[in-house]
């Protein structure tokens, strides 16, 4: 993955699919770009919203963290 840029929670919050085209979320310190996923249209995936750290919300999801393997890690959460 090399040297990935670091983003603050405030910077992540701007990539929520509402204010900009980017749709990002964080999980376990990594920031994922899900902008192209049809499941994250408008920054929402079921009851989960982009632009935030979703690490603690995975317990409620019907899938494991392996689902994130299909998305690009574009940065680290500071």
pLDDT in tens, 14-70: 999 997 899 999 999 999 999 999 999 899 998 899 999 999 988 777 888 898 899
In a domain, 34, yes or no: yes
In a domain, 1, yes or no: no
Residues 56 and 34: their CA atoms lie apart, in Å, by 18
SS3 content of the chain, % helix, strand, coil (to 5): 30, 30, 40
Q: What's the predicted TM-score (pTM) here?
A: 0.89
CATH number at residue 28: 3.10.120.10
Number of domains in the chain: 1
In a domain, 68, yes or no: yes
The confidence score (pLDDT) of residue 63 equals 86
The parent domain of residue 12 ranges over 6-77
- Would you say 24 and 15 are in contact if contact means Cβ atoms under 8 Å apart? yes
């Amino acid at each position: 993955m090399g040297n990935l840029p670091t983003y603050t929670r405030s910077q992540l919050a701007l990539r929520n699919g509402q204010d900009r085209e980017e749709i990002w979320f964080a999980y376990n310190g990594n920031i994922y770009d899900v902008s192209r996923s049809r499941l994250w249209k408008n920054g929402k995936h079921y009851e989960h919203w982009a632009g935030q750290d979703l690490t603690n919300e995975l317990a409620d999801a019907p899938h494991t963290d392996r689902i994130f393997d299909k998305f690009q890690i574009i940065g680290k959460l500071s």
